[in-house]
Structure 1
Amino acid sequence: MMKRLFYSFIAALLLIAGSCSDESYSTSRNDKLLFSVDTLKMDTVFSGVPSSTYSFKVYNHNDNSLRISQVRLSRGSQSGFRVNVDGVYLDNMNGSQAQNFDIRKGDSLLVLVELTSHSTNQTEPQAVEDKLLFTLESGVEQSVSLLACSWDAVSLRNLVVSNDTTISSSKPIVIYGGIKVDSGAVLTIKSPASLYFHASAGIDVFGRLIIKGQQDDEVVMRGDRLDRMFDYLPYDRVSGQWRGIRFHSSSTANCIDYADIHSAEDGLVCDSAEIDPSVLRLDLAHTTIHNCKGYGLKADNSRVSLVNCQLTNTLDDCLSVTGGETDIIYCTLAQFYPFSADRGVALRFGNYENAVQRGTLMCQNSVVTGYSEDVVMGDSLAFDYHFVNSVLRTPAVSDSVLLKSRFENVVFETSKDSINGDMHFVAVDLDLQYYDFHPDTLSTLRLQAIPLEAIRDDREGRKRGDQPTIGCFE
């Protein structure tokens, strides 16, 4: 009796297994796949550099299971795409294809796509296209288009500049490992030049750095990620993508003109050095330092000049000065860093304890503003500072002697003012991390600067009028 029950049980299991293994797959040409995208659009990639991984899904919304007899790339291995379907890579050694994928009714498959594009021998990004073809057992062929752009670039790895060197290229320059400028050497970076720094790469200057951009062709220094963190947020708008530029104590007579430096750890750092009254440690003009995970510019015991510069959105201070001599003329210092509530201020200045020489700071025709009620911080150590014809977001000075000696024609901005903080500017968009620090049409910065004969243009090289605007943009 027990044997009969046992054999009956085994027979039932075999029958069930047989019915499952014999599940029919539709061969009707009316039953088709559905894709989450018609075209998989990837970001621009540098030629020869692997892209991020992109994905889409393949759905079976039919009443029957489907068998995909083949998946292949239309161009085989020529386009540089790599595809993984449901955990199986298409064999690039065999026509970039794979066979026999089952997709039951109501189920889906995940497709992963990467690209390492070939050189295009062009200076501008070029389209890279292919099609991923799905052939069903019924003979129906469906496809998903793959689209990206490939950009030829010049790669520099662990560059050491021991002799005077000039860098310039109409192609993007990707920096791996960093650049070191030896003492006694001069590195000149002139337009056309766009430098894309890989993670942790930066420039260490022991000698001298000269950046020569042009009004209509600035030198750009940024991270090398061209893709997006989210659909709405390019990595280029995320701080901390590269290390930044550091001027070591032996470095002097550095000059940066018409440059866009953004999304670094620290934008620029000047280590403490002996002050030479005959030469500037750093001459900064027509330059933007934006969206840094550390300081925008940190200057220790240095002679620094900033003219027509934008220093904005940093986790630490936009401009931090300790000792030295600093001139700030026609500048926009704005602290709207979005990634932390524990952000620094727009301007911080002070001196070293027991400093023999008093630090000096002159700020003229400039706006210093931000989210907080007070974004201008100075300590009580010996420091000579003067603010002239500027807008400062800091509590009004009540000491009449201090006010008369340190502040001339200064507007102390508060959140109660009808136009204040971010309202001065065209765009401060926290959702999209998009900022435009040109003055808004209603901004009280307009027509409030004092004309300076020596400085007749603005951040973009445009001529300033007889009643110029406070800040770097006319």
Structure 2
Amino acid sequence: MRYLSYLFLVTIIILWSSCRNDFESDPSTGNLQFSSDTIFLDTIFTNIGSSTYSFKVYNRTDDDLTIPSITLEKGESSNYRLNVDGIPGKSFENIQVLAKDSIFVFVETTTDITNQTNEPEYLYTDRILFDPTGNVQDVDLVTLVKDAIFLFPSRDNMTGEVESLLLGEDENQEEIRIEGFFLDDDELNFTNEKPYIIYGFAAIPPGKTLTIDAGARIHFHEGSGIIASNTATLIVNGEVSTDPELLENEVIFEGDRLEPNFSDVTGQWGFIWLTAGSTGHQINHATIKNGTLGILMDSNDGSTDPTLTITNTQIYNSALFGLLARTGNVLGENLVINNAGISSLNCSLGGTYNFNHCTFANYWSGSSNRSTPSVLIDNVIFLENDVPFPLDLLEANFTNCIIYGNNNLELGFIQDPNKLFNYKFENCLIRFDDTRNEIEDDNPLYDFSDTSLFENVFLNENIDFKDSANNLLQIGEESFANGKASTPTSGTDILGTPRDMNAPDIGAYESILFETMDN
């Protein structure tokens, strides 16, 4: 009998529940609250989807509410997409919110600027309307959409295979290819009229020159980059900017995600690859940021002139190396490199290097700890089974340079004694604090008293960077580097500031006055 009573009660509850919509609630009457009344979806490129943004809709009353309708003002034609409380779409009916509870609304967009305007930028807006036929409330949606020039590999219509570049053969004589394409002749001048978006590796054909004008913006999709093939040349003609934040005349290389959350994320794209046999590269007033590497340089062109001349340039936030040159011939002046997962500068497998008024720092704070120095110089690499492959380090001269970071030892050498290993540091400020006795006492490579190797070199003095964690490597007036560079000198620093002819500063920047000292 007790069992039959229980069964009857359960049946009544089920029947009663099936007669309810969900729970009894009142229609909203303009009493919703929002975590934000305007959602800025930041800047996107035409036809590239945005990140997903969200906000919360609150019912702060003591009653359960039903929102009769939630819809985009532009309806189904809107370029925004919504997800309301787990349901995707552009319009929704009878959305219920419990008393003292909330729901999430997610928003994203993909917009084709060519359907909207002929201008290079377009502000695309819409509104999310809550109860539009009653007590309407709204949340504004705002997105800046930029037009761009897209460069990408072609796809074979018959096989569906994506165009690729042949890099050589492996030990089994199998071809080594990467997804990429050769630039056509009419694509060999990047202007500043529109940003460029590159998918895959854009290769400069043999014997050709890619010229990039001042103010150009080059964006790379994940795993993309630029390759200078044999006898090809890269010329970057940036100019000094009047606004240090906008960098309006700088040439900027970075990823294709423009949201603020991606502004300093490492490894978003590949690298600029100067392959063996490429020649005559010149990079001036450029910013290269957030790549796997900044610049990868293989060998040199065999000339006594530098294969790469790099001036007034910044390389930041590289997952591996800022500049990795293997048997390179590099001339650098007013070059700044910071934040790399391994080393900011690696002069590897010998070569010829001359750096003047450069700042090489490494304040890497990634997920993996960095054990390598900011500047690493070697004349050997090790092949399979630890077989050494050495080449001559003809010269590595560092003059008026800062070498610093958050490790104790920010300068390192790896020498094969069977090959030349020539280097000299003059008027340089270096962090090298061997308190843990990591270097053997009799190692002649680190004999800072040897003036043939180290002349007027200062160790572990106050650096006084403005904000090293955020790549602001200007030095303050308290920096030991002030007035310690060799004289006489001429020219300007990386920002175009004239150097003090009588007492120039070490590093890429002349000192400035700032209120706080972060380091």
TM-score normalised over the length of structure 1: 0.87
> Which consecutive residues of structure 2, in runs of 5 or more, have no partner in the other structure?
154-180, 242-248, 381-387, 435-440, 511-519
Q: 1:20 to 1:63 in 2, by over 3 A?
A: farther
* TM-fit CA distance, 1:191: 1.6
Counterpart-to-counterpart distance in 1, 2:259 and 2:506: 36
Aligned-pair distance for 1:100?
2.2
| 1:226 equivalenced with 2:258 (yes/no) | yes
Q: Which residue in 1 is equivalent to 2:160?
A: none
Secondary structure at the residue paired with 1:337?
coil
Q: CA offsets per residue over residues 92-133 of structure 1, 9 Å max, x none?
A: xxxx42322222323432211111123154666443222111
Q: What's the counterpart of residue 231 of structure 1?
A: none
Say which is worse superposed, 330-339 or 389-398, in terms of deviation.
389-398
Q: Note the 1:100-119 alignment, pairs <5 A.
A: 100-119=94-113
Distance 1:106 1:188, change over 3 A: same
Scaled by the length of structure 2, the TM-score of the pair is 0.80
- DSSP 3-state at the match of 2:199: strand
Aligned to 2:451: 404
Check 1:250–1:12 CA distance in 2 against 1; reply closer, same or farther (3 A cut). same
Counterpart of 1:62 in structure 2 is: 61
Letter in 2 for 1:392: I
**SS of alignment partner, residue 17 of structure 1:** helix
State percent identity of aligned pairs. 28
Q: 1:19 to 1:346 in 2, by over 3 A?
A: same
Q: How far, CA to CA, are the matches of 2:505 and 2:405 in structure 1?
A: 18
Count of matched residue pairs: 449
Question: Does structure 1 residue 311 correspond to structure 2 residue 351?
Answer: no
What is the alpha-carbon distance in structure 1 between the residues aligned to residue 47 and residue 346 of structure 2? 40
Offset of residue 259 of structure 1? 0.6
Corresponding position of 1:296: 322
Deviations along 1:251-304, one digit per CA (max 9) or x if unpaired, are: 121111111111110111111346322x31111111111110011111111211
Contact in 2 for aligned 1:320/1:349 (Cα 8 Å)? yes
CA contact under 8 A between 1:187 and 1:210: conserved in structure 2? yes
In the alignment, which residue of structure 2 is the partner of 1:157? 152
> What's the counterpart of residue 17 of structure 1?
17
Residues 224-266 of structure 1 show CA distances to partners (whole Å, capped at 9, x for unaligned) of 11124xxxxx212011111011111121211111111111101
2:424 corresponds to 1:386? yes
Q: Distance in 2 between matches of 1:28 and 1:383?
A: 78
Q: Following superposition of structure 1 onto structure 2, how do residues 82-231 of structure 1 map, counting pairs within 5 Å?
A: 82-90=81-89, 96-119=90-113, 121=117, 125-135=121-131, 139-158=134-153, 159-161=181-183, 163=185, 165-206=188-229, 207-216=232-241, 217-228=249-260
8 A contact 1:274–1:301 mirrored in 2: no
- Does structure 1 conserve the Cα–Cα contact (< 8 Å) formed by 2:27 and 2:67? no
Report the secondary structure of 2:342's partner residue. Answer: coil
Q: Where does residue 483 of structure 2 map in the other structure? A: 447
Tell me what 1:362 maps to: 397
Amino acid in structure 2 at the alignment position of 1:468: P
Q: Which residue of 1 is the match for residue 292 of structure 2?
A: 265
- CA distance in 2 between counterparts of 1:401 and 1:62 reads 73
Partners of 2:28 and 2:66 within 8 A in 1: no
The one-letter code matched in structure 1 to 2:282 is: C
Is contact 2:326-2:347 (8 Å) kept? yes
Residue 151 (structure 1) shift: 1.8
Structure 1 counterpart of 2:406, from 356, 371, 384: 371
Change (3 A) 1:101 1:451: same
The one-letter amino acid paired with 1:144 is V
RMSD over aligned CA atoms reads 2.7
Query: Residue 320 in 1 paired to residue 320 in 2?
Result: no
Asked if structure 2 preserves the Cα contact closer than 8 Å seen for 1:337 and 1:343, the reply is no
Deviation at 1:16, TM superposition (A): 4.1
SS class of match (2:450): helix
